[in-house]
Structure 1
């Protein structure tokens, strides 16, 4: 690649962050550059910990002295110089939430816009009377009167309610109340039979302030009379009209003393139902929060579920929404041509994104400046989500039930929904979890950012995406200390040719075919789950099966939501598994059902390889999860210094309060600062400076390294350091076998990606010798891996099969698909919203399946 002039490129000189080896590199401005390399080679260190960190530091330098005094000084990245660095926006690879009831609408930030629209141009509805309820003021009353036909008579009144404890006191109380109003200068009254209670302990009447004709509405008398009624009636006023005006939700028939029918239009400065008189809470954001007393469903206290017979069930009152009925019935204001509200909040939540887009024209009557601005913002977000292929998703869909690809596209939309220019966008695997056919819209958006005058830097491994970039930078050649150097910088085509030549032979050698083999089968019939409706499937046992297909085609529904809970329950009912893994009873995402399951008798255990068990505690690390840290702590406790001080292995634990951990951060090594106006800052602990331990504990060393130094090592580095300790080496080798040798031993498992979490759990099973026939389920374990890392993962999967286990993998990667024993390819009918099988068989036959979108991408690395 020809050298770029400093004016046209970001110039990094001497970057030494983490494992970067004094890297100097230029990144073209207003172009798309892809960063490639094996896991742990330094890609994130360069993009996020160098470029983005320096951009953040420069931003904080622009803050006032008083603002900067509230936070600790941000450290400058270890780099000699960075020239021509624009402002940065970093979009990291976010872990999908596995718990909680956050919806798609909330994650995509649509819900907040809809709520703001309701507050600006909406109203509440009385659940009992189904009448619109909202505060009404002088201007609202005058606007309604202006619609009266010419010459129509109307009366301006004050509604008065009287309540007594005993029925025999009612007449005296009424007379006393009327005397009060006569003393105030009002002498005309009208009994309000519509407000009289059958209990005879309450009664209502109207104080007539003025009688007018509609031709008089243009003079000041009307406004003065209405204002007087609102003032004397404590914000409440009733207009009686001879004729009903269409389009009003406040029409109440009232008969006077001559039995003439009048039509009442009620106005109150409080959200009061004009029919039953109930006063409701203000239309405000808290009304739509299930954590708020005014917004939470009274039946389930805002949880959305109720426990019945020790099982969770959807709350019948709120239908799982967790919101009060008042919140769910909040609606947009009606037009003058209809008495029905346009849309309720509950109806909108039932929409798919495509249906919401089709119904946006029903909000066209909202013509305030604020509502018009909010509608424009809402339409832009919906258009982006539709272009990313998410139109079939319901707004109320729980985020934790989305596929990984769907979730990543929602996150990506949030980043793309702005109009910045001259900005450096940093993306960490923007197409992670996407089928090749679903990546094209993402490519379009990335290219559009460049067209609009921005610079794009993506960490990427997929060859079809790399081919769309303007240039590529590869870091390597390996992970950890063996990485951190520039191994390639230039145009994309030569780089892809080099990769294809390197890996095509390996793919060919890994190809399998079951045409001459007859393994036992696991068969499920009549599957119903989400968009899977009545399909049958079979998996060969003690083989590697890959389930693939476009995003939303039902892969996770088949494997994680149906096969796992059904098979787990089958094993548990059989009673020969000591520790069957129970699936959680989740009414928001109920398990799929099958008519029958055959071939499960030989399976002893079903293991879902996901990250939920890893991310429950931020204290969990690769070293603690694989229990190698127990061996390391024992080794430190056996040193001369430790024995002289009387230290036991617990002294070197950062989880024990009785050990030698730092008391300020409780062994975490960091503290979080609430920035209020910005995202929380995570800063090194000011007491231990990120080491996790007390100074006395750090004085004990093994081969000149203290316990903090060891936790800072990668698994590869620790493998060389503990070369004489077989128990430690065996466990560290497990990490290396699944391609995780680049992970530091003390890294929180909460920071691992989904793919890394699955591979860490895989490592714990590789050397198991239980003699059981286990069925392992993986959900995209190759996520975020370079082709060289995928080869390592593939060997680990095959190792499980060689040990007599069954492996089923949800995956899009062409190398794993072609190396499988069996492939199941799914598709979805977007119009009917139903999934079906495109192909089921050996990988060699998939190429000839013309209906399969997957077959078109089998040559992609």
Structure 2
């Protein structure tokens, strides 16, 4: 490859790869090997060497300047700072490729870092009293505490301070980060070195108690190398573009200004990008950002993304099966999803949807109702037909849809109770003697949690009040900032303060009113276990007393069996062919792994010796196959089991098998199992329960049961805060916090807050328009 160079006036000679060439009347070409061409000092007519370069001034008379080299290069390089960039390729913009990933965080965008405030949490403590917490808790190894005391004593002698002085008055930088002059490693450096070098999972876990997940200091969460971040299109790099919502990104590419040549190159690419963005908008995902981590997507969002890819395929004659695609969608956005489903139908496809949403059922061409109950009480087709016929039917679904039965439950139907209610105006005043807000209405006082200056993600520096001792709901269209406010800011802060969680809360100024709480329970939709070994019985604590019952039978005592014999996780009673899983995994190359039933135990998990022990005619495997309702009847005389099984029934899980693998549970089922586990424990009357869309996957009748449970918690003085889109649940709340008005960057504002009656009258609130 050769490259022609345009040479400016006044330059008569150049040096390239050690050779000089005259430029008089000639053009110079650089070969691929001769990357750099440098102008060099030239000889004057008399043969003497000029001390500078011969330039042509404006008047045409040559003059001498100081010697200077000009560097020309085919590479993307800067001669001044030494920065160079290799050839620009697509992989440079991928954080999954080592070619483009940030070298500091390997493309993760975050790092585990030691937090000095966790290492030395109390500045009033002395080093002798254990101010450096990880060193004070190093008693798991004999002599470790003595070693740290010795090195601290040596440091104190060298630096001239006392071990009995509060660490707040000592040179903190030396203690935390060390000092070379004292040959002292420092607390944080010591922990970081041990964390990197240790092979012990226990030691690593102990050190991680003092670490927080923080944005990578080099890429600032961008995941890419600095070279990739330096390349910009219309003053935006790829990270900034990826941080835009789908709706904003569409506007960005529609208004992108390019030169004529670049526009010709990019036209077909931009057309395809806009087409795909429109597919995402059509399924109600305009609020999502392209940088969004897939693990943070709800099941409904993930389904709608896959659905968007199918719209563009233009296929016909296909059967599409969707399982509750409305999860995470506000009623306002349901119309877009329904229109998309109809578009697939009109292309000549069949669309089958499993759904509890009223709008979707109303627009369906044909409805099939399965029931009449759940579990062993269901499994029958009790209705099939059109929407109009369903409203007239005697099925449970028809009764709720027609209004003959109601979901909404109000604990205080009138203006009674502690929570602010009714249509009257609430007057809030800041009590200077207390960190809490107080509201006064007809002589009643309500304590509030107050979140001040919330700015994480798309939140617009909002202040939010959450009444305690009440049932509060956070509402708003999808992407309005609900999860950011409740989970990332409030939940993370309370988890850190009450439970010592190693999470960094979202950006906010302050949270007031936490002194009115003594316990916080965060119940999300994350799985209760990652393997088939985990199940509702193990998570709720049912399995241990059940094993104790079998171990206490006469036959088990004669054989000398203990609790371990009835565990499928340890050797003894489990089937060794499948190691107690009941299934065998077959690894498939380039395909997902396949699980098949164990031929030895036929899926029962136990060996024959363990299965021979029976209680009331049932062996341990039979019990794990029972539904919650069957187990409740079977163990009703045993209070410890009866109480836990009763709470599982109350949250609508009476159909679930207590030994069902956790990997087969939906997010809503996992959340209700967690809720039932907490309900089985004693509450303090000052507990805050935080739930994220607990009605996911629930029928109207099950929602009513769940609402009864939540209102019972409130009746005992506790507080319940939920993120919800279901209008029946929202109308049952004592207090509503509505965010919006839109999703993404157009959201994040506090649209309204108040009672359901007040929100319903607010014309700016989309939630108010749909309240019943």
State how far apart, in whole Å, the 1-side matches of 2:107 and 2:25 are. Answer: 49
Greater RCO (Cα-Cα under 8 Å, separation 6 or more): 1
Change (3 A) 1:855 1:794: same
TM-score, structure 2 length as denominator? Answer: 0.70
2:665 to 752, 755, 759: 752
* Counterparts in 2 of 1:633 and 1:441: CA distance versus 1, 3 Å: same
| Alignment partner of 1:356 is 2:249 | yes
Match 1:581 to one of 488, 494, 499? 499
Aligned-pair distance for 1:474? 0.7
Listed as ranges, the matches of 1:160-559 within 5 Å are 191-192=15-16, 204-206=17-19, 229-230=31-32, 233=33, 254=39, 257=42, 266-267=73-74, 287-288=92-93, 290=95, 293-303=98-108, 304-305=110-111, 307=113, 308-309=115-116, 310-329=211-230, 344-360=237-253, 361=256, 375-399=270-294, 409-496=304-391, 498-500=398-400, 504-507=404-407, 510=410, 512-513=412-413, 515-517=415-417, 518-524=444-450, 526-530=452-456, 531-559=458-486
SS in 1 for 2:487: helix
Deviation at 1:749, TM superposition (A): 2.8
Distance in 2 between residues matched to 1:694 and 1:370, nearest whole Å: 68
CA deviation vs aligned residue, 1:145-179 (integer Å, no higher than 9, x gap): 8xx89xx99x9xxxxxxxxxxxxxxxxxxxxxxxx
Q: Distance in 2 between matches of 1:582 and 1:695?
A: 45
**Contact preservation (8 Å) 1:403, 1:551:** no
Quote the Cα distance in structure 2 between the aligned partners of 1:801 and 1:474: 34
TM-score norm. by structure 1 comes to: 0.63
* RMSD between aligned residues: 4.1
How do 1:143-158 and structure 2 match up within 5 A? none
Please say if residues 715 and 742 of structure 1, whose CA atoms lie closer than 8 Å, have aligned partners that are also in contact. Answer: yes
Distance 1:634 1:384, change over 3 A: same
**Partners of 2:734 and 2:524 in 1: CA distance:** 22
Partner deviation per Cα, 1:762-817 (whole Å, 9 max, x = no partner): 11232433544211111110011110111111111112122221111221212212
CA offsets, 1:822-849, max 9 Å, x none?
2232323569635334433332343333
Q: Does 1:597 align with 2:512?
A: yes
2:732 corresponds to? 819
**Alpha carbons of 1:791 and 1:706: their partners in 2 closer, same or farther (altered >3 Å)?**
same
Q: How far apart, CA to CA, are the structure 1 residues paired with 2:294 and 2:640?
A: 41
Deviation at 1:465, TM superposition (A): 1.2
Deviation at 1:444, TM superposition (A): 1.2
Once the two structures are superposed, residues 749-770 of structure 1 have per-residue CA deviations (whole angstroms, 9 ceiling, x without a partner) of 3443332222111112324335
1:109-147 CA-to-partner distances (Å, cap 9, x unmatched) read: xxxxxxxxxxxxxxxxxxxxxxxxxxxxx3xx47x78xx
Checking the alignment, whether the CA contact within 8 Å between 1:300 and 1:306 is kept in structure 2 is no
**How far does residue 323 in structure 1 lie from its aligned partner after superposition?**
2.7
Separation in 1, partners of 2:25, 2:551: 96
Higher strand share: 1
Within 5 Å, give how 1:772-783 maps onto structure 2.
772-783=685-696
Give me the whole-angstrom Cα distance separating, in 2, the residues matched to 1:519 and 1:776: 21
TM-superposition CA deviations, 1:217-247 (whole Å, max 9, x none): xxxxx9xx98xx44xx4xx556x7xxxxxxx
Does the CA contact (< 8 Å) of 1:286 and 1:295 recur in 2? yes
Distance, in Å, in 2 between the alignment partners of 1:680 and 1:363 is 47
Change (3 A) 1:839 1:329: closer
Consecutive unaligned residues of structure 1, counting only runs of 5 or more, are 1-137, 156-188, 193-203, 215-221, 241-252, 333-340, 573-579
Q: In the aligned structure 2, how far is the partner of 1:297 from the partner of 1:383?
A: 31
| Preserved CA contact (<8 Å) 2:567 2:574 | yes
Give me the whole-angstrom Cα distance separating, in 1, the residues matched to 2:634 and 2:311.
Answer: 45
Q: Secondary structure at the match of 2:281?
A: helix
State the 1:818 CA deviation.
2.2
Could you say what secondary structure the match of 2:502 adopts?
Answer: coil
Contiguous gaps of at least 5 residues in structure 2: 44-52, 56-68, 117-210, 393-397, 418-443
